Chain A
């Protein structure tokens, strides 16, 4: 090094040191309130004992409703964790549960009831609870029950009881908005196994897991329970490591965990399952009598399965080779016990119902239902009141019909609780137009989301950590379990629990419900559990029962197991997937996928979850297009190039992320962004894939097939920086002092 170079380096490092030393001052934190201590007005409970308190509560219903504990200090909820006693999760939690405190302290939470200046303006003025309740009661009185509809997200079990009672006195219609893949799954489980609750694979005792697309480690039906069981599956038994094969179009983080990933054309999961069944039948690997219910469910017979669904035939459509399909079939019988699960993409094709019936039906062939290491069926909720009615869960086709009725004036009043149909359904469903046409729209959401923006009156619900409730986890741990939700902090804002508001509305209508509040409903229902005379809680009286229930976080009965039936009539006929768009004009298949953090966008308002990297690309806070290396090479793209993504439905511009492990011919895009409301952290970033996909339905289930659209990509010539962790700091090789020395083996 020359003297001049040395001086340059020294001067640069000196300047750097000065700059870094100058960054920040002690006690100069962001946010500013970090260095404030709130002196409470009244002595918080935990201070009486002089230490931080952990209260047991429950996860929200759409996150699985399992048991949580929350650390509370100085009257503030500080940290959420899994309840170590609660069956299934045993102390584990996930990022979505951790972020519950952000819902509580969110700066955009509605502080009290509001009235819109004009509908759709997004401008709201605070009003009093009394006048708001009177007004809503008057609306309901005028409209009558048959001209009103209550649209909710999946309610908690105790809310379901209150809603059912409210329905009985008002006659209002109840509609539940759930992601379409779950609607298909519930329908398949009900028709195939005869149960209304979701089953849970007993991974902890299984030797082999065959998964058709279900993102079971990252956001599918019970990610916490399944991720914990997956740890047991892989490492819990000394000397025996469970084997996991993943069949699906995209190398997701769940697929990346597998021992083998079988990339396929989306929507061919069911056909592959039939080819597997074909191999099992022709090779005589499983007893023939087990095929009867499988054939019954699919309307097949032995001859058709042998002739039409041979591995060679399915190989041409599915993207696998016949040998790979045989490998899958052999693995199923060589590693016992084996279990098959399916979901996410597999349920979102135009043949989603068939895919799930054919794949989950393989469990019938393996005789793995309710066997250790197989698919455990969950019992019905221990009390009939805690059941969430399946017929209230609408498919996309039914939503379109409902919105048609609203637009035609047959339904004049819409009540919306925490559901966001304007965002969560494709624009073609007509949610926004219907709400604009409705006479009255009342929202119970704690945040101004796209649907609440179209409301006249908002009666905000409390945060999950502020209210009472009972949750029957769905899926449960394989036996009856109920988690109790209790407030862990005093309410921060002038919100009221949704159940309380329904009860107060019913009282105003002159038809009081059996309970005075959501708290009373929760406790009354909990005491009915005591009357069952079984379960984990031994108590001498009601008070002791409630105290123990709240301290343990739930009630469970390991003896109460689920049982099902086998199908005897056809559920669905085998069908091949179809895709919207001409393959010459749109050469690629568009594969949207839910994110492990913000899911389908319902949690996009929580900054911790926005900042949680998507595990494969490590991208955060935005939307991007994931293309395979070969596709990128063909089009001359590299990560960060902005492209025009064109589907028959719409055109958007997004930055590209080149994934070396992507499947050529597929273009993947995450769900969750593209909000035009829902607070400062969600608004105005990325695109909502539902605006891109063609409104294709699964004609058997009536659900939206969001994985059935073709697309093409055009370069724009512009570039954008992707916010991500991976590869942001380039690696330098120092010339003179190599950090890693390459040594000969003999050295």
Chain B
């Protein structure tokens, strides 16, 4: 009984200190990019149809992935090269594409893969080292409607771990420049 107050105090302290820790961990878990639901997109684009069924290469559409920092979305012009001969009547998602092209309106996609602020990521460097798109993006080719989901954390810990495993530089200025 002599130490009961001390023990109680220590217990209370531990509980008090555990609350923020638990909350931060919970936030990390629930708000981690991979835990986010699939984002709604203006057009439900099925990668599955284009990659698995038709057999297009990723860089057929994301043309700049191998040569520049950004993988880039294709211009609607490129979509229409095929879709001008694919009937769109009665297929609401395709009708949206054709309407946007005819009205000269860009499509505003919701960005799926979020990098942390103040970082640069260069696609071409990683591809020329020998990585596949799927190393970071997962098997996008198997993702159909409603859309693409982020499968890898892509936050600083993830980047640094992978850089260490592959003998890449890990000094700050590699990404924060």
Contacts and interface: CB of A to CB of B under 8 A. Distances in A.
Contacts of B107: 38-39
Contact of A37 (B19, B76, B111): B111
B16 to A, nearest CB: 5
Interface string B1-17: 00000000100110011
B23 A40 contact: no
A733 interface: no
Contacts of A41: 75-77, 100-101, 104-106
A426 B63 CA distance: 57
B92 interface: no
A3 interface: yes
Given A14-B17, A41-B100, A26 B33 contact: yes
B146 interface: no
Contacts of B76: 39-42
A21 B78 CA distance: 43
B36 A73 contact: no
A51 interface: yes
A10 B16 contact: yes
Contact of B114 (A3, A22, A35): A35
Given A41-B106, A47-B63, A73-B70, A7 B75 contact: no
A74 B63 CA distance: 13
Contacts of B72: 47, 50, 74
Nearest to B39: A27
Contacts of B13: 6-7, 10
Interface string A52-94: 1000000000000000000001100000000000000000000
A36 B108 contact: yes
B36 A27 contact: yes
A27 B16 contact: no
A13 B17 CA distance: 9
A35 B78 CA distance: 23
Contacts of A36: 108-111
B167 interface: no
B69 interface: yes
Contacts of B77: 41-43
A32 B67 CA distance: 30
B48 interface: no
A18 B22 CA distance: 10
Given A26-B33, A38-B107, A50 B64 contact: yes
Contact of B68 (A6, A18, A50): A50
A44 interface: yes
Contacts of A47: 63-64, 72, 75
Contact of B110 (A11, A35, A40, A44): A35
Contacts of A25: 31
A38 B108 contact: yes
B162 interface: no
Contact of A21 (B27, B67, B75): B27
Given A14-B20, A26-B36, A44-B75, A39 B31 contact: no
A42 B77 CA distance: 5
Contacts of B168: none
Contacts, number: 95
B24 interface: yes
A406 to B, nearest CB: 42
Nearest to B103: A41
Nearest to B101: A41
B75 A40 contact: yes
A169 interface: no
A17 interface: yes
Interface string B45-81: 0000000000000000001100111101111111000
A40 B64 CA distance: 14
Interface residues of A, number: 31
Given A11-B16, A21-B23, A39 B75 contact: yes
Contact of B69 (A22, A27, A51): A51
B5 to A, nearest CB: 9
B105 to A, nearest CB: 7
Interface string B91-135: 000000000110011111111001000000000000000000000
B12 A39 contact: no
A47 B61 CA distance: 12
Contacts of B67: 50-51
Given A47-B63, A50-B67, A39 B73 contact: yes
A7 B20 contact: no
A35 B40 CA distance: 13
Most buried by B among A6, A22, A37: A37
A689 B19 CA distance: 55
B164 to A, nearest CB: 24
A39 B72 CA distance: 9
B134 to A, nearest CB: 21
B73 to A, nearest CB: 4
A114 B19 CA distance: 59
Contacts of A42: 75-77
A18 B20 contact: yes
Given A11-B16, A26-B31, A27-B114, A37 B108 contact: yes
B68 A51 contact: yes
Contacts of B27: 21-22
Contacts of A7: 12-13, 16
Contacts of B17: 10, 14
B63 A14 contact: no
Nearest to B108: A36
Given A7-B16, A17-B20, A43 B64 contact: no
A17 B18 CA distance: 11
A476 to B, nearest CB: 35
A325 B77 CA distance: 72
Contacts of B75: 39-44, 47
A43 B78 CA distance: 8
Nearest to A38: B106
A51 to B, nearest CB: 4
A18 B19 contact: yes
Contacts of A17: 20, 23-24
Nearest to B74: A39
A18 B108 contact: no
Nearest to A9: B16
A11 B15 CA distance: 10
Contacts of A40: 75-76, 106
A21 B64 CA distance: 37
B30 to A, nearest CB: 10
A43 B106 CA distance: 11
Contacts of A21: 20, 23-24, 27
Given A17-B20, A26-B36, A51 B64 contact: yes
A111 to B, nearest CB: 15
A296 B16 CA distance: 85
A427 B72 CA distance: 53
A50 B69 CA distance: 9
Contact of B23 (A11, A18, A74): A18
Closest 5 CB pairs of A and B: A17-B20, A50-B67, A50-B64, A43-B75, A38-B106
Given A47-B63, A74-B72, 7 more contacts: A7-B12, A14-B20, A17-B23, A35-B114, A40-B106, A50-B63, A50-B67
Interface of A: 3, 6-7, 10-11, 13-14, 17-18, 21-22, 25-27, 33, 35-44, 47, 50-52, 73-74
16 contacts: A7-B12, A13-B20, A18-B20, A27-B36, A27-B111, A27-B114, A39-B106, A39-B108, A41-B75, A41-B76, A41-B104, A43-B77, A47-B64, A50-B67, A51-B64, A51-B69
